[in-house]
Amino acid sequence: MTHIFRNSTVELLFGNTGFTYSGYDEVTNANADADEYVWFYTVPMHANTRETAEEIASYIDRFKLVHSQVPATKPFYAFTLFNLFDFRTELIDFSVVHAINEFNSSLIQFAKEASNVKIIDFAAFCRLYPESELLDWKFYFISQTALNPKLALPFRKWFAAQKQATVKVAKKCLVLDLDNTLWGGILGEDGPEHLKIGGDYPGKAFLLFQRQILELQKNGIILAICSKNNEQDVLDFFETSRDQVLKKEHFAAWRINWLDKATNIRELAQELNIGLDSMVFLDDQPAERELVKNFIPEITVPEFPAAPYQLPVFLKTLRDEYFCVYQAREEDRGKTEQYKQNAQRHQLQQQFTDIDDFIKSLEIETTIRMNDEADFPRIAQMSQKTNQFNLTGKRYTDLEIKEIASRHGMIFSLSVKDKFGDSGLTGAAVITAIGNDAHIDNLFLSCRILGRKIEKTFMEQIICSLREENFENVTACFNKMPKNQSVAGFYGSVGFSKTSENETGKTYVYSLKKG
Amino acid sequence: MNRSQQLLQIFREVLETNDIDETVSQANCEAWDSIHHLNLILAIESGFNISLEPEEMERMQDFATALKIVEGK
């Protein structure tokens, strides 16, 4: 059940089943049984702009009052304000615009501190329609609807997608062809000086395309190259070109050779240690796309635009569909760096014959924190993304984690750094308390830090903390998932005793009693 | 399908019941509340590709009147 706080008739937009509604402008009597809440106020329709601005100015306090009445553990979706009908007589009268901006910034600021508040950018929906369609005065006068009820279906779809985006798992890696994809022309045939990048159209279009891709990279999307070219030619071009935006350092890995692209992409996935299903492949050649699609059904291969001037819209669609996240975390921003460091570690590993010597040489430092709320969003995000080292496959939102912690649960986070760099928060355990026993609801580690025996250290420290909390036993289970077969024996290897086993998984217990 | 049948179909879909016929009215149908009334108007407007005037919407309190209004368009 969703409870909606509103100042206009919105029943036709959201529908009947599954929703309860506040009175217009009502700020008390929040439905305490609702699973989630929505704040959807629209700009009031006054003829006088000062009156409108003044009323809008009162909304943020109203919003805070409403928010204070609902449980902080339940999702609260807050719509930004958008002016559906511009009433001003003086062109330089920006009072309503300012009031709306003020409200929206306060709302965004508030959401940064209140983790259950998720912003829904209503303007993004409204921009899809002209003013004449956004508001239907007939229905406004008859029943006080603000947004035109005829837009109910697209609105419902859009809202569902926005909600999904607040928890959605985005793709991780963009694999790029080069010739006629990142620039116009063919490096090996036309020569580096004739490639179309920068300058006039079409070079201009490719330039913007590369800049947009660089923005994705800065927000945590890993870039890789898969191109039929001479590797040295490409690296030289990256080095010498004045116009090229994407350079060698922006790519985490590449396969620039004459082998087939399916084989190359499989290798890239292995080198980066990510699933093929988290990759998106861009290539202007239909034949290459077809081949990759056929041999790697898991990968996403969108059609590529025929004309370079279509690239900005293409990239926007790409971002919305595959790479849109509600909010990027600090760790995301340095992702390419981390994946590159991993490749260096991989090389170092090949010099050592003994794995323990290798681990020692890395100078690993681990930090383990318990019930630190600042870690919860990242832990939730990890639980959504981690597939290989994931013992039960349970996934959480940050609110669910908060909820578990509030019921005497223990949330452990693991941060790792070594001499090559800081991997940040890369592991977590979610533990619930059942009487005198602690139960590991899930334990997961990012695949970026596997192969360094860090998981053992993590488990030892968790056991140690649980003993200090005076628990008697630790119970745990392993659930079979499509990709977690490699950790089927994990609990056994760290001293747990198996209590049952069937085709879906195993259960374990570890006694904390001394002797 | 004639207009009467088409209109009845709309009423059944919007009011989410097959248990109504041409005698349905706001007075004898509990589901026909103000929100459903608006939904009915939206569905009739798009179903018959017409635009209803606010006065007509207000008068439209039973099936027979609704049909008369639709047929008058």
Angle between helices A261-272 and A286-295 (to 10 degrees): 60
Average pLDDT over residues A163-184: 88
Mean local confidence (pLDDT), A430-443:
94
**Which residue among B34, B35, B42 places its CB closest to the CB of A150?**
B42
Span A92-100, mean pLDDT? Answer: 94
**Burial (Cβ within 10 Å: 0-12, 13-18, ≥19) of residue A114:** middle
- Which residues of B fall within a CB distance of 8 Å from A142? 38, 54, 57
Q: Give the pLDDT of residue A170.
A: 76
- The string of pLDDT tens digits covering residues A265-320 is 999 998 888 899 999 999 999 888 988 998 899 999 999 999 999 999 999 989 88
Q: Which of residues 314-373 of A touch B (CB under 8 A)?
A: none
* Cβ distance of A16 and B57 shorter than 8 Å: no
Instruction: Using an 8 Å CB-CB cutoff, list chain A residues near B42.
Output: 12, 149-150, 152
Record: contact A149-B38, CB cut-off 8 A = yes
> What is the mean predicted confidence (pLDDT) over A171-187?
94
pLDDT-wise least confident of A40-54, A302-316, A350-364, A386-400: A350-364
Residue the block writes with tokens 């745990």:
A476
pLDDT given at position A351? 60
pLDDT higher than 60, residue A134: yes
Hey, do A173-328 and A353-511 end up sharing a CATH topology, with the first three levels equal?
no
Answer yes or no: is pLDDT of A144 > 50.
yes
Question: Looking at the predicted structure, is the pLDDT value of residue A159 above 80?
Answer: yes
Cβ-based neighbours of A156, under 8 Å, separated by 6 or more: A13, A14, A15
Could A142 and B38 be called an inter-chain contact, meaning their C-beta atoms sit closer than 8 Å?
yes
CATH code assigned to A2-165: 3.40.50.1110
- B38–A141: do the CB atoms touch at under 8 Å? no
ipTM of the complex: 0.85
Residue A515 has a pLDDT of 46
Q: For residue A327, what pLDDT band results from cuts at 50, 70 and 90?
A: low
If you average pLDDT over residues A501-513, what whole number do you get?
92
Domains and CATH numbers, chain B: 3-71 (1.10.1200.10)
pLDDT of res. A199: 87
Mean pLDDT, rounded, for A100-115: 92
Strand order in the sheet with A2-6: A19-24, A2-6, A36-40, A76-79, A117-120
Q: How many CA atoms lie within 13 A of B2 on its CB side?
A: 3
Average pLDDT over residues A393-417: 92
- Chain A residue with Cα closest to B33: A16
Residue A12, chain B, CB below 8 Å: the answer is: yes
> One-letter amino acid identity for A66?
V
Residue A393 φ/ψ, nearest 5 degrees? 80, 5
- CATH for the A173-328 domain, from 3.10.20.90, 3.30.1330.30, 2.40.50.140, 3.40.50.1000: 3.40.50.1000
Provide, rounded to the nearest whole percent, the portion of chain A with pLDDT above 90: 60
- Amino acid, res. A58: S
Name the minimum distance, in Å, from the CA of B39 to any CA of chain A.
Answer: 7
Q: What is the pLDDT of residue A71?
A: 87
Tell whether B72 is within 8 A of chain A (Cβ): no
Evaluate whether the domain defined by A353-511 bears CATH number 3.50.50.60: no
Angstrom distance (rounded) from CA A336 to CA A253 = 9
Question: Is B35 within 8 Å of chain A by CB?
Answer: yes
Residue B46 amino acid letter? S
Q: What would the mean pLDDT of A87-97 be, rounded to a whole number?
A: 89
Overall average pLDDT of the A453-458 stretch: 88
Across the range A233-247, mean pLDDT stands at 93
A138 touches chain B (CB under 8 A): yes
**Residues linked to residue A473 through DSSP beta bridges, in sequence order:** A437, A511
Cα–Cα separations (whole angstroms), residue A151 to A3, A7, B52: 21, 18, 17
Q: Note the pLDDT of residue A481.
A: 87
Residue A431, H or E segment = strand A421-434
- Yes or no, beta carbons of B42 and A11 under 8 Å apart: no
pLDDT at residue A356 greater than cutoff 60: yes
Write the residue in B39, B46, B57 that is nearest to A142 by C-beta: B57
Minimal CA–CA distance to B22: which of B66, B54, B70?
B66
Whether residue A142 lies within 8 A of chain B, CB to CB, comes out as yes
Domain boundaries, chain A: 2-165, 173-328, 353-511
Give A34-85 pLDDT, tens digit per residue: 999 999 999 999 989 999 999 999 999 999 989 988 888 899 999 999 999 9
| Chain B CA closest to residue A151 | B42
The residues, ordered by sequence, that sit 6+ positions from B54 with a Cβ below 8 Å of its Cβ are A138, A141, A142
User: Which of the 8 DSSP states describes residue A283?
Assistant: -
Predicted TM-score (pTM) of this structure: 0.59
